[in-house]
Amino acid sequence: MKKVVILGGGFAGVDAAIHLQKMKYDVTLISDREYFYIYPTSIWVPTHESEFSDVCLDLKELQKAHGFNLIIDSVSKISAKENSITLESGSVINDYDYLIVAMGASKMKLKGVEHTLSICGAPEQSLAIRDKLDELVAKGSGKIAMGFGGNPKDTSAVRGGPGFELLFNVHNMLKKKGIRDNFELTFFAPMPEPGKRMGSQALKMMDVMFNKLGIKKHFGKKITGFSEKGTNFEDGSTLEADFTMFIPAGNGHKVIQESDLPTNEAGFVKTNNHSCVENEDGTLTNIYAIGDIAALEGYDWRAKQGHIAEVMAKNVAHNIKERENGRRKFKGYHEHLNILCVMDSGNGAAFVYRDEKRAFMFPLPVVGHLLKKSWGKYCRYSKLGKIPRIPGM
C-alpha cells in the first residue's frame, strides 16, 4: 500500500487525509495542533456568541472516524532532495511515496505588531480578543480599531473579510448592551478601496454599511507600525485606539522558506495547476502543496480561501490515484477559482460571490447569520462523516 504523509491539519490537510484514506492509501497526518480549527466561525468567539470549543474539532475524533494515522508534532524541516521531513521531537520520516504540504501561511511582521491581536492568527488569539473586548465593555467606553494589511508580493495572501465581520459583530454586541454610543469604531486598511476584489457592488455595499453603523473609515495610508497608542501611518499620523485588531497579510511558511522547495516571491510553494511541485525540467516530483501554503496563480482578484483548499485536497487525492494507475487525467484548481463567502454582521449577513465573469453581493438579513451558524455545524459533522458532504460546500 502506497504511503502518503500530509503535513498540517487545517482545511487542506484534513480533507486530503479523508479523501486519500477512502482510496485506501496508508495515510499519516502530522499536525502541530491537536484540533482542526474552523477559522470562518471563529469570528464569534470574541463576542461570546461561540465558545472556543465550538470552533475546534479534535483530530483524534477525525482519526477515529476515518482511520488515518495521526502524529501530533511540529514539522521543523522538509528536504525534497532527501525525501525526508524532520519533526521537532527529532523524528525523521523518509519512507513515504507522496508528501502533501498543507501547513497554511505565516504572517508578515510589521513593527510593533505585538501591540495588536489578530482574528486570523493563532487560534488562542480569539480568546485574547474576547478578554480585551470584555475589559472595554466593563469600562463602558473606548476606541476600537480593526483593519488589515497588504502584501505587495502576493495579493492573494491578503485577508480582510474576517476583520469586517468581527467589527460588525462588535457593533451589534455593543448595541445589544446599550453602550454602542460610548464607543468609537474605526476600520483601517492601507489600500484606498479595501474589499475591492470582491467587486464594485460589494465595495458600495460595504460603504453603506459603514455609514449606517457609524463606523469610521481610515483608508489609503501605508501602515508603518503599531505602538501602545495605536496604528502609525507613513504620513506620521496615528490612529489612536484602546484596542487594535490587525490582520497581517500572509507570507511563506517559515519551514518552507528554509526548505529546498521552489517558492514564489512571497515564499509560497510553487506548483502546477494540479498542485504538484515540479522539477526544474517540468517533470513531476512526489510532493504536492495545497491550501494557503501554495502559490495561487491566476486572476488579480484571486484569494486564498478554505473552499479552494478543499478543492485542491480533493484534486490531489484524485491526481495521486491517476498517477498510481498510470493515467494522467489530472484535475486542476484554476477553473475553480472564485471568491465565495457569507459575510456575517452579527444579525444578518451578505452573500458574496466573485469569479471572472460575475461579481455580486446581496444582503441576507437574519437568515444569513443563521445560515453561517448552520454551516459551522455542517462543517463539523460532514468532516466526521456523520452527514453527507454537499459538493462545493
- Which residues of the chain form contacts with ligand FAD (CB under 6 A)? 7-13, 30-33, 39-40, 42-43, 74-75, 102-104, 119-120, 161-162, 255, 291-293, 304-307, 309, 341
Cβ at position 163, least distance to ligand FAD in Å: 9
Beta strand pairing call for 348-354 and 339-344: antiparallel
Q: Which is nearer to ligand FAD, 46 or 112 (CB)?
A: 46
Distance CA 285, CA 276 (A): 7
Residue 98 CA to its chain's centroid (Å): 24
Distance CA 182, CA 106 (A): 36
**71, burial (CB in 10 Å: exposed 0-12, middle 13-18, buried 19+):** middle
Q: Which is nearer to ligand FAD, 161 or 190 (CB)?
A: 161
Q: Which is nearer to ligand FAD, 106 or 319 (CB)?
A: 106
Contact at 8 Å (CB) between 239 and 188?
yes
Distance CA 375, CA 373 (A): 5
Cβ at position 213, least distance to ligand FAD in Å: 20
SS3 389: coil
Cβ at position 120, least distance to ligand FAD in Å: 3
Cβ at position 99, least distance to ligand FAD in Å: 13
Amino acid at 346: G
Using alpha carbons, select from 32, 243, 282 the residue that is nearest to residue 138: 243
Distance CA 54, CA 312 (A): 26
Cβ at position 33, least distance to ligand FAD in Å: 4
Cβ at position 375, least distance to ligand FAD in Å: 8
Q: Which is nearer to ligand FAD, 191 or 249 (CB)?
A: 249
Q: Which is nearer to ligand FAD, 42 or 315 (CB)?
A: 42
Cβ at position 88, least distance to ligand FAD in Å: 8
Contact at 8 Å (CB) between 239 and 211?
no
Q: Which is nearer to ligand FAD, 27 or 221 (CB)?
A: 27
**270, burial (CB in 10 Å: exposed 0-12, middle 13-18, buried 19+):** middle
Cβ at position 138, least distance to ligand FAD in Å: 25
Cβ at position 38, least distance to ligand FAD in Å: 8
Grid cell in block for residue 266: 512571497
Q: Which is nearer to ligand FAD, 110 or 341 (CB)?
A: 341
> Other CB atoms closer than 10 Å to residue 278's CB: what's the count?
15
Distance CA 29, CA 71 (A): 6
* H-assigned helices in the chain: 11-22, 59-66, 125-139, 161-176, 200-213, 254-257, 306-324, 367-383
Q: Which is nearer to ligand FAD, 254 or 327 (CB)?
A: 254
Q: Which is nearer to ligand FAD, 191 or 349 (CB)?
A: 349
